[in-house]
């Protein structure tokens, strides 16, 4: 089926609305679920955010789109992107520091799983991506 540009935009908006509703409907169930439920749902949320961010990035690279997009729309996207970035960085800093401290506490108490020999944080890299890595020993 061939969609027009307008129909593609409409389809995307409807898909996003359904995704938002699906996540909202499962929020409480996941929150009260087990650890695996939390991990799976969080990863699904991250994957959808990545997909949406990639679509936004593609959108802003398209000369046809940005040539017709009012400045007010671009300002709104920037302000929201900045706010989301600040929230993400705050979450990462808080979570990573708390987990680091928790692992240290477990290690001092002799409760750290012996398979974990070292946990190291690497940030940056040649491609500018940050990764968390845990070195395992068998």
- Give tens-digit pLDDT for 75-92: 999 999 999 999 999 999
Domain assignment present for residue 102? The answer is yes
pLDDT of residue 3: 73
Close Cβ partners of 125 (under 8 Å, ≥ 6 residues apart): 131
Domain assignment present for residue 47? The answer is yes
Domain assignment present for residue 118? The answer is no
pLDDT of residue 123: 40
**Distance, CA of 131 to CA of 125 (rounded, Å):** 9
**Distance, CA of 15 to CA of 18 (rounded, Å):** 5
In terms of residue numbers, what domain contains 61?
5-112
pLDDT of residue 129: 42
Q: Is the pLDDT of residue 7 over 80?
A: yes
pLDDT of residue 2: 61
CA dihedral 35, 40, 43, 44 (to 10 degrees): -140
pLDDT of residue 133: 58
Domain assignment present for residue 124? The answer is no
Residue-averaged pLDDT of the chain: 87
Q: Dig out the tokens for 61 from the structure.
A: 């690279």
> What's the total number of domains in the chain?
1
Domain assignment present for residue 55? The answer is yes
Q: Is the pLDDT of residue 6 over 80?
A: yes
How sure is the predictor about 128, in pLDDT bands with cuts at 50, 70 and 90? very low
Q: Tell me the H-state helices in 32-128.
A: 35-61, 63-68, 71-108
pLDDT of residue 116: 76
Residue bearing the bigger pLDDT, 15 or 134: 15
Domain assignment present for residue 125? The answer is no
DSSP element (H, E) containing 134: strand 131-136
Close Cβ partners of 124 (under 8 Å, ≥ 6 residues apart): 130
Domain assignment present for residue 36? The answer is yes
Cα separations in angstroms, 138 against 114, 119, 133: 9, 15, 16
Domain assignment present for residue 137? The answer is no
Cα separations in angstroms, 27 against 91, 94, 121: 19, 22, 30
């Amino acid at each position: 089926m061939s969609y027009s540009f307008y129909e593609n935009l409409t389809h995307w908006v409807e898909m996003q609305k359904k995704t938002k509703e699906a996540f909202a409907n499962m929020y409480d169930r996941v929150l009260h679920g087990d650890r695996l439920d939390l991990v799976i749902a969080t990863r699904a949320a991250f994957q959808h955010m990545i997909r949406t961010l990639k679509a936004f990035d593609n959108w802003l690279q398209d000369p046809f789109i940005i040539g017709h997009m009012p400045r007010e729309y671009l300002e709104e996207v920037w302000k929201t992107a900045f706010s989301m970035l600040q929230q993400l960085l705050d979450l990462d800093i808080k979570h990573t520091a708390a987990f680091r401290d928790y692992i240290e506490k477990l290690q001092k108490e002799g409760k750290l799983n012996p398979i974990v020999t070292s946990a190291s944080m690497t940030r940056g890299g040649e491609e500018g991506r940050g990764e968390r890595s845990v070195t395992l020993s068998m």
